[in-house]
Amino acid sequence: MRTQVAIIGSGPSGLLLGQLLTNAGIDNIIIDRASKDHILSRVRAGVLEEGMVGLLDRTGAGERMHREGLPHEGVSLAFDGRTKRIDLFGLTGKRVMVYGQTEVTRDLMDKREASGALSIFEAGDVVLHDFDGDQPHITYKKNGTTHRIDCALIAGCDGYHGVSRRSVPKAAIQTFEKVYPFGWLGILTDVPPISHELIYANHPRGFALCSMRSSTRSRYYIQCSLDECIDEWSDDRFYDELRRRLPAEQAEPLVCGPSFEKSIAPLRSFVAEPMRFGSLFLVGDAAHIVPPTGAKGLNLAASDVHYLFEGLQEFFGEKSRSGIDAYSERALKRVWKAERFSWSMTMMLHRFPDTDAFSRKVQEAELDYLVQSRAASTALAENYVGLPY
């Protein structure tokens, strides 16, 4: 087989890039080691910046998002027994959209199938060849047979554990990483959310987040030790701990229901530089990870797609390499700003095991200043809703 762009990974970034390319008349094939059902079973975040919303609209896959998604104009910070709302729209003129990543993936898959573009699932032994040479191609095995895809360029959209970044020689890539000494214990439950907007809580017992996937599905998190055993956390124990970390007026309306998903996620910050190696371009989690505190993971992948799609349009339409040559530098500038924001939110809202009394007082003063100062609130708001591409 031959195509113009081979895309590794059928998550939201690969599907988003693929649909933008298909709409622009640029041939592409998506290949993934997982099955379609497995991809759609993964539970992920769901706070979308306006840039991500705009890209979904450009693909033609945004109709259900606008019908079922929840536009949010604010977010609340809970600390010191009180709750303060940050008016995102009033401070920036922008909103965020709460719409689950699984639903984004489903909508993009449906759009791709309707467009007739090719996706290959359950591909084994995927290998990237000659991406630093003149004949980039991919081989994979399916049903006992080895297949080959020749292409002009390769987009690695296959996540942190994917083959794309691992295919790059170690000497050609530099990585930066910070691992946090705690995780998030999270549950999904089909009950109405505690609030119509997200609540981020700083408490002496640890961080908590009250979020949602819809008006009838809630997503709750509490900070926990990395050595916690998930089996020791009953739903009742989780809800009791969540209540302790919220101000009384927020805890009181909490509706409890059985969870249907429960997990502990470690937190890390990670960046790989550069994001381009000859004909191979890293996109999204293949190149960077952020702690979920700032709601930037999926949105960073979307901005990578934006920059890469612009470059690919120039490359195939205008025969210009300027866009793809600038891709890594342009993407990384926004990546590091989002890394900074996600790191700062994580540091401000979590209790660290080695935090002394002085550091706790500074953290409390930072939160108080943030909600009292319009300038500080604006800085948080403009980062939260998403910096411009």
Distance CA 122, CA 35 (A): 5
The number of C-alpha atoms within 13 Å of 166 and in the hemisphere containing its C-beta is 9
pLDDT reported for residue 184: 97
Residue 221 makes CB contacts below 8 A (sequence gap 6+) with 184, 185, 186, 207, 208, 209, 211
Q: Which fold has domain 180-267+350-385?
A: D-Amino Acid Oxidase; Chain A, domain 2 (3.30.9)
Note down pLDDT in tens along the chain; length 389 residues. Answer: 999 999 999 999 999 999 999 999 999 999 999 999 999 987 777 899 999 999 999 999 999 999 999 999 999 999 999 999 999 999 999 999 999 999 999 999 999 999 999 999 999 999 999 999 999 999 999 999 999 999 999 999 999 999 999 999 999 999 999 999 999 999 999 999 999 999 999 999 999 999 998 899 999 999 999 999 999 999 999 999 999 999 999 999 999 999 999 999 999 999 999 999 999 999 999 999 999 999 999 999 999 999 999 999 999 999 999 999 999 999 999 999 999 999 999 999 999 998 899 999 999 999 999 999 999 999 999 999 999 99
pLDDT reported for residue 46: 86
Active site residue 36: no
Active site residue 181: no
Active site residue 327: no
Other beta carbons less than 10 A from residue 69's beta carbon: 22
pLDDT reported for residue 154: 98
pLDDT reported for residue 41: 85
Catalytic member of 292, 306, 307, 350: 292
pLDDT reported for residue 269: 98
- CA proximity to 291, closest of 262, 266, 264, 261: 266
Handedness of CA 249, 252, 253, 259 (dihedral sign): positive
Active site residue 384: yes
Active site residue 296: yes
Catalytic member of 99, 180, 221, 384: 384
Task: Indicate if 180-267+350-385 has the same CATH topology as 5-71+97-176+268-346.
Answer: no
Q: Which residues pair with 282 in a beta bridge?
A: 156
pTM, two decimals, is 0.95
Ranges of each domain in the chain = 5-71+97-176+268-346, 180-267+350-385
- Number of residues that make up the chain: 389
Catalytic member of 296, 307, 327, 350: 296
**CATH class (in words) of the domain with range 5-71+97-176+268-346:** alpha beta
- CA proximity to 130, closest of 115, 149, 110, 145: 149
Catalytic member of 12, 72, 306, 327: 72
Catalytic member of 140, 180, 200, 239: 200
